Amino acid sequence: MTEIETIKEANCAKRIIDMGKIDLEYIRARCREDGDCWIWRLGFTSRQVPSMHAGKKIVGVRRVVAELLGLQIEGKKVTTKCGNKRCVCPDHVLPATPVALGKMVAKRTGYASFTVRNKKISDAKRANSSKLTAEQAKEIRESDDRLIDIAAKYGIAAATAQRIKAGKVWKTYGATPFSGLGAR
Ligand SMILES: [Zn+2]
């Protein structure tokens, strides 16, 4: 079996999650943040797909992230919305059928457009974040729902929900009088 075939294996990501050692915070801690992207710092396949070891298997990190978000990935490849092939950000992972992926790749023209898009995502995120109240942040921290459901419920990005849960973002928001904390 080649490395790539191993990565496609459907249950692999699920299995390492079931082992209970991996969550989004584990993954984020192994990334370098670049704008909105989480750039994986560890292993890659020969095709630059972010990868990690799961026992004797190698599994695509984006597959793990997609599974953690509760996305359907069976029979799909997991690419990025941002176009950065080293990115594993929960808001950028995108499960796609091979056909859809082919079309997407054909549309991608250059780095400049990704930068513009990243800025838009960033602005949207900021607008979204300021919608939250301290009370809602507390609800999010205490919620047992899947991140993707929390994100939909509060109209925020999954990565934001994850960071609120991890107690990271809300701290930052509370740090300045301009953070929009408590704005309704
Ligand atoms: Zn990205």
Distance 86 CA to ligand 1 centre (A): 8
Q: What is the mean pLDDT of each run of 10 residues along the chain (184 residues)?
A: 48 73 91 95 91 83 93 90 94 90 67 52 57 84 89 88 80 44 46
Distance 51 CA to ligand 1 centre (A): 16
Distance 125 CA to ligand 1 centre (A): 14
Distance 81 CA to ligand 1 centre (A): 7
Distance 136 CA to ligand 1 centre (A): 26
Distance 34 CA to ligand 1 centre (A): 8
Supply the pLDDT for residue 66.
94
Q: Do residues 61 and 7 lie in contact, with contact meaning Cβ atoms separated by under 8 Å?
A: no
Distance 36 CA to ligand 1 centre (A): 6
Fill in the amino acid letter for 164: I
Distance 108 CA to ligand 1 centre (A): 14
Q: What is the pLDDT of residues 7-40, one digit of tens each?
A: 455 567 777 777 777 899 999 999 999 999 999 9
Distance 99 CA to ligand 1 centre (A): 21
Helix (H, G, I), strand (E, B) or coil at 45: coil
Pure H helices in 39-94 = 61-68
Distance 143 CA to ligand 1 centre (A): 26
Distance 102 CA to ligand 1 centre (A): 19
Q: Which residues contact 21 (CB under 8 A, 6 or more apart)?
A: none
Supply the pLDDT for residue 124.
60
Q: Which two tokens stand for residue 43?
A: 């292993």
Distance 80 CA to ligand 1 centre (A): 6
User: What is the residue extent of each domain of the chain?
Assistant: 3-107, 111-173
